[in-house]
A = this chain, B = another copy of it.
Amino acid sequence: MQQLAVVKIGGNIIDDEKQLTSFLKSFATVKGYKILVHGGGKIATEIGKKLGIEPNYVNGRRITDAATLDLVTMVYAGSINKKIVASLQALGCNAIGLTGADANLIEANRRPVKEVDYGFVGDVKSEQVNTKVLKMLLESGLTPVFAPLTHDGAGTMLNTNADTIAQELAKSMADLMDVQLIYCFEKKGVLTDPVNDDSVISKIDEQSFEDIKLQGIITDGMIPKLENAFAAIRKGVKKVLIGHAAEFDKLFAGTGGTSIL
């Protein structure tokens, strides 16, 4: 089967011009099919402040009210997405910027209100990722670049976590291609010691993950990331890699970061 790399870059990289440029250079050289999913970054918050839109957080999750939805649609699908697309084009990578609304690629349900009303936040309808169009784009030599937005199919854009989008794309495409899912962030991988950047665990399987959780040696924020990684693997994704954007080459080659198998 054809190889496909689904790569996610977080906000920290997007906010840092130098890191972003360096990452995009490495990403552009990757041979074979690839998809990039980018997060948001601080720029939305900064522009929001100027526009008088104050961010609301509940349990560390941003509440997406109507004004925030307009803001993130503008910044994620406009500013950030097109900046990345134009940069990749200059590097010879034929990028095409997308959201879940475009070509109905990723439909989502607005998250049901329980204790918290998250507002215009979308939970991806996994079975409805439009893999046919994605496959056609890839086979035409294009590199899809996703902003972290979906839609409800009824005319409303929805804010969706970039990690989730990457994971859903990887899982859906796993039926058609050999998929590896790569999360680039600001650490070299999953660390046993959060203050020691070199304490990277090179490989984690489901058994060692249970041990690690019991021992409490990884930070809380990493646990849902890893749980998502295992969920992707159970759905047919070959490999999940977590590491630093600056080490993307090593990560892609499987010689750096943390491999989840």
**When the two chains form their complex, are residues B74 and A79 in contact, meaning their CB atoms are under 8 A apart?**
yes
A217 in the interface, Cβ–Cβ < 8 Å? no
How often does this chain occur in the complex, in copies? Answer: 2
**Contact A142 B133, beta carbon cutoff 8 Å:** yes
Once A76-B78, A136-B136 are accepted as A-B contacts, the answer to whether A97 and B101 lie under 8 Å apart by CB is: yes
Indicate if A47 sits at the interface (CB-CB under 8 A): yes
Q: Specify which chain B residues have a CB less than 8 angstroms from the CB of A50 in the assembled complex.
A: 50-52
Q: Contacts of A102 on B, CB cut-off 8 Å? A: 85, 95-97
Task: Provide the residues of chain B in CB contact with A74, threshold 8 Å.
Answer: 47, 74-75, 78-79
Return chain B residues, CB-CB under 8 Å to A76.
78
Decide if A94 is an interface residue (CB 8 Å cutoff): yes
Chain A contacts with B in 79-109, Cβ cutoff 8 A: 79, 81-83, 85-87, 89-90, 94-99, 101-104
How far, in Å, is A261 (CB) from chain B's closest CB? 35
Q: How large is the interface on A (under 10, 10 to 19, 20 to 34, 35 or more residues)?
A: 35 or more
Bound CA span A96–B50, Å = 30
Contact of A86 among B70, B94, B156 (CB under 8 A): B156
**Are B155 and A90 in contact (CB-based, < 8 A)?**
yes
Give the residues in chain B near A157, CB-CB below 8 Å: 82-83, 86
- Among the 9-residue stretches A146-154, A194-202, A237-245, the one with 4 or more Cβ atoms under 8 Å from chain B is A146-154
Q: By the criterion CB–CB under 8 Å, are B95 and A82 in contact?
A: no
Asked whether any CB of chain B lies closer than 8 Å to the CB of A140, the reply is: yes
Find the B residue at minimum CB distance from A137: B103
B79/A70 in contact, CB under 8 A: yes
Shortest distance in angstroms between A127's beta carbon and chain B's nearest beta carbon? 17
Min Cβ gap A104→B in Å is 6
- The residue from B52, B79, B89 contacting A73, defined by CB atoms under 8 A apart: B79
Min C-beta distance of A70 to chain B, whole Å: 6
Q: Which of B94, B153, B156 contacts A104 (CB 8 A)?
A: B94
Assuming A99-B97, A142-B103, is B73 touching A155 (CB within 8 A)? no
Question: A169 in the interface, Cβ–Cβ < 8 Å?
Answer: no
> Is A96 within 8 A of B90, CB to CB?
no
Nearest residue (CB) in B for A85 is: B101
B residues in contact with A9, CB < 8 Å: none
> In the complex, are the beta carbons of A153 and B89 less than 8 A apart?
yes
Report Cα–Cα, A73/B89, bound state, in Å: 16
Closest to A107 in B: B89
Interface residues of A in 122-171 (CB under 8 A from B): 133, 136, 140, 142, 149, 151, 153-157
